[in-house]
Amino acid sequence: MHIHILGICGTFMGSLAQLAKALGHKVTGSDANVYPPMSTQLEQAGIELIQGFDPIHLKPTPDLVIIGNAMSRGNPSVEYVLNQGIAYTSGPQWLHDFVLPNKWVLAVAGTHGKTTTSSMLAWILEYAGMKPGFLIGGVTKNFPTSARLGESDFFVVEADEYDSAFFDKRSKFVHYNARTVILNNLEFDHADIFSDLAAIQTQFHHLVRTVPNNGLIISPANDQALNQALQKGCWTPQSKFTLDETDCEWRAELKSDDGSSFSVLLQGKKVADIHWQQTGLHNVNNALAALIAARNVGVDPTTSAKALENFAGVKRRMECLADINSIKVYDDFAHHPTAIKTTLAGLRAKVGTEKIIAIIEPRSNTMRMGVHKDALGKSTVDADMVLWYQPANVDWAMNDVVNKSPVPAKLLRDLDELVKTAVSLKENNTHFVIMSNGGFGGVHQKLIAAL
């Protein structure tokens, strides 16, 4: 079968393309911008990439077109598919129909930590010799690709709450028929498609309604928004976890403030110790969730702990890009005030009084709309200085974020000026944390070159 994918360079659609290729299909794809790292993975897999959406790319007619959720009516290729009556489907539906039947699906959902937690879980199963399939919306350093079919009945999927396609407004994750589900956390996000937190809770409850009663739902004990969604009805056994000193089935006991060492307790009894490369309480939570999910498919906690100690992390999640004479530059995908806050708090716990400079671009749809503007300044409390960048397409003035900042802050609108300002702030043992869910105009390499 010849499958053509519209919007192929997105992390989800690019991963899907690799699965389709592994199933033996001829796969081609087009996107507005063909860019690495996904374009590199796809080209290495032998998938033809085409820039733009000219309908000529759909000749000869493919057997099936998979339409990404970034595509909308008015797109020339979308209009051609509809006018010509070409068979089409959404990415999540194709995954449901062609990859997931007869699989024990382990799905990782939540506002934050999906990519990292699904990467941890896939690696634990791999370390345990289970050879899982997976689809992860990022580049995990423990695997050469972000998706594979695997050689077992187990399949790990990063389960996004974003809608499936212009013709299917259900969240992606309701398509996956998951048996083991991690619900990491729940906050308001994706303001471009959800009106409020209650609308997202409804989608999470739709996911809960699809989980069989011989499965397992794993979630933090103290997440009020998740608990409210679960209280709408749950027919599946639950496992709760916490970092707090509370009576909870699963608990992490910190051995170091930065989260690089902790014990795992089940019903108050220690079942594993973890000493690893990751930092931050958010990653301790991610690890706990992955360990519990792995246990649900037969991996004992001590094996999971050993796997996690060998977990190399995920690109763009506090990835250290350079260390230049004691000055470090990190790339982080943070796209929400909570993600900014937890990431900076983890780094502060690790580096103590050393200088942290956060360089932040509010690029996500929700950030650009100004939904979280009142929380942005407070999220940077662990930085020594914040350089905010205002892109041309941000719909609100960011001056208030700077004026009300709890730490010194500056607003810049020119990338070269931003880099020059950052360099002027450097001193020994400075940590530059660049935060954006996009390419940020190549500022990472510009800063490294200037340093």
Q: What is the pLDDT of residues 136-190, one digit of tens each?
A: 987 788 998 889 999 999 999 999 988 999 999 999 999 999 999 999 988 867 6
Cis bond leading into 391, ω under 30°?
Answer: no
Q: What pLDDT does residue 395 have?
A: 62
Please compute the mean of the pLDDT values over residues 9-25 and round it to a whole number: 92
**Contact yes or no for 437/413 (Cβ under 8 A):** no
Domain regions of the chain by residue span:
2-90, 100-309, 319-450
Tokens 């796997």 belong to 307
Please compute the mean of the pLDDT values over residues 194-215 and round it to a whole number: 91
Q: 319-450: which CATH architecture?
A: Alpha-Beta Complex (3.90)
Q: DSSP letters along 351-397, please?
A: HTTSEEEEEE---SHHHHTTTTHHHHGGGGTT-SEEEEE--TT-SS-
Q: What pLDDT does residue 372 have?
A: 62
Q: What is the pLDDT of residues 216-270, one digit of tens each?
A: 999 999 899 999 999 999 999 999 999 877 789 999 999 998 889 999 999 999 9
Read off the tokens for 416. 């070269």
Q: What pLDDT does residue 358 have?
A: 92
Q: What is the pLDDT of residues 91-145, one digit of tens each?
A: 999 999 999 999 999 999 998 889 999 999 999 999 999 999 999 987 788 998 8
Please indicate whether the domains covering 100-309 and 319-450 agree at the CATH topology level: no
Close Cβ partners of 437 (under 8 Å, ≥ 6 residues apart): 333, 334, 335, 363, 364
Q: What pLDDT does residue 175 have?
A: 96
**DSSP 8-state symbol, 26:** E
Strands (E), 126-192: 133-135, 147-148, 154-158, 163-165, 168-171, 180-183
Read off the tokens for 138. 């990022």
Q: DSSP letters along 247-288, please?
A: --SEEEEESSTTSSEEEEEETTEEEEEEE-S--SHHHHHHHH
CATH number, span 2-90 = 3.40.50.720
Alpha carbons within 13 A on the beta-carbon side of 199: 14
Looking at CATH, the fold of the domain delimited by 100-309 is given as UDP-N-acetylmuramoyl-L-alanine:D-glutamate ligase (3.40.1190)
Q: What is the pLDDT of residues 345-361, one digit of tens each?
A: 888 988 899 999 999 88
Amino acid at 212: P
This prediction has a pTM of 0.81
